[in-house]
A and B are shown apart, each in its own frame.
Chain A
Amino acid sequence: MYTDKVMEYFTNPVNVGEIEDADGVGQVGNPVCGDIMKMYIKVKDGKIADIKFKTFGCGAAIATSSMATELVKGKTLEEAKKLDNKQVAEALGGLPGQKMHCSNLAADALKKAIEDYESKQKEVK
């Protein structure tokens, strides 16, 4: 049911974990199935210098979160905000139809983490 790529990212996910002194943190719950994802970002010079995630979710949720972090690491915040779930799914060689909703988690958690970072920046100013 899953592509080899999905299984590879599920088996050996990159960027799993937390960042203790993260600049932004975003957590989302999947309204469809109840799964949860949390993203941590570290920002330097307007770019995502480091990113980590934790997922309570299915195989697709774990694989997509891992792939999403890999896709945006080193990118500017503007570029990262544009990441959508289709891109993530494509990078994994596709997802079964009923698993597309899982890939929303990663993009949404990332957006929230960036928003969190940006709102903190405003406070500082």
Chain B
Amino acid sequence: MRKVYLDHGATTPVRTEVADLVYKYMTDNFGNPSSVHSFGREAKKGLDHAREQVANLIGAEPKEIFFTSGGTEADNWAIIGTAHAKKDKGKHIITSSIEHHAALDACKYLEKEGFQVTYLPVDADGMVRIEDVKNAITDQTILITIMHVNNEVGTIQPIKEIAALAKEKGITMHTDAVQSVGKIPVNVDDLGVDLLTVSSHKIYGPKGVGCLYIRKGTKISNIHFGGAQERNKRPGTENLPGIVGFGLAAELIGKELKEEQERLTKLRDKLIDGIVERIEHVKINGHRTQRAPHNVNLSIRFIEGEALLLSLDMRGIAASSGSACTSGSLDPSHVLLAMGIPHEIAHGSLRMTLGKANTEEDIDYVLEELPKVVERLRAMSPLYNKKQ
């Protein structure tokens, strides 16, 4: 059976070259970068090089890159670290209602500590409105955190415009760029952000590693304690194998970015157009053009997402869904609900996220199989009536 992996938004396979390097830094170059001997120095070299590679990808200075255990930690740190560092200036934070839980739950935690958080609404395409940001800012606002590309629907947020507003008022601007780095050009100066989150396993690097970009001069407190690593900001012996893997993955994805962006955009549109042509009662979720090149998200009416995923999986197609039945929390995706999509339609949502290995033939295969799966499930659905 053909296997088609369409869940690159969840994670990506590690490149062979990267895996080899990770291995090398677990075996030959196993040293602790803090040690003075040759083993340590060799390790330190790898660490410094990785920092340059990651910095290059996002147009930062190497000394502005702080390695973390992934996107979640970087989001937590950006939000909680900023709040703690600036609490004497004010206790108000602005975010959106469609952030990743790594950001949302950090905000919820701060609310318990007495901070006020504004969760901005989004429009039907999942886009934050600049006007809403403007109106939400008060003289107490210390941080705006809004993601660059949404992980579920792929909508690209107007970060540059929002960051300009923040800058005017001396507010720290953070963006979670986990789903944009490596997919579209990301440059910290173009965006004008102070803090930016990157995760390695979404760009063909290993899991459990990422970084927080901290613009020089940005006030941020530590959320971990115990050592001088990462220039006293993020203690703990570095996950060196992960970090060098992340570095190489960053360099390689940067080289392919332009070409891959074009290629994936074509595949994405072929998939979207093909589905709309072949299946009735389908709604595309997210912005049609201001959209990451790898993201397809649609609601297929009258059927439920988990049943859809299981059926696709049996045909070798791996995707994901914002359905309540797949979330464990029993609520459909907070992102789709925030976009005003009714429960029962959010329930039948299907996310397919493309990546390097996907080909035209993969898309053809999905376009052949998906309609069959939908027809079978609709035939079972009490909500579906052929005459509709």
- Which residues of A are at the interface with B, using a C-beta cutoff of 8 A? 2, 7, 10-11, 13, 16, 27, 32-38, 54-62, 98, 101-102
Contacts and interface: CB of A to CB of B under 8 A. Distances in A.
A34 B343 contact: yes
A43 to B, nearest CB: 21
Contact of B304 (A13, A56, A101): A56
Contacts of A57: 304, 307, 325
B381 A98 contact: no
Contacts of A61: 304, 307, 325
B72 to A, nearest CB: 22
Given A16-B379, A34-B344, A98-B330, A59 B306 contact: yes
B302 interface: yes
Interface string B339-379: 00001100100000000000000000000000000000001
19 contacts: A10-B310, A11-B314, A16-B379, A27-B382, A34-B343, A35-B347, A36-B383, A54-B380, A54-B382, A56-B304, A56-B383, A58-B306, A58-B307, A58-B325, A59-B306, A59-B310, A61-B304, A98-B328, A98-B330
Contacts of B305: 58
Contact of B307 (A10, A16, A54, A101): A10
Given A11-B314, A56-B383, A32 B307 contact: no
Contacts of B381: 54-56
Interface string B301-326: 01111110010001000000001111
Given A11-B314, A62-B307, A98-B328, A56 B379 contact: no
A59 B382 contact: no
Contact of A58 (B302, B304, B343, B380): B304
Interface centre among A11, A57, A60 (most CB of B within 10 A): A57
A57 B379 CA distance: 13
Contact of A56 (B310, B326, B382): B382
Nearest to A39: B382
Contact of B382 (A32, A37, A101, A102): A37
Interface string B289-310: 0000000000000111111001
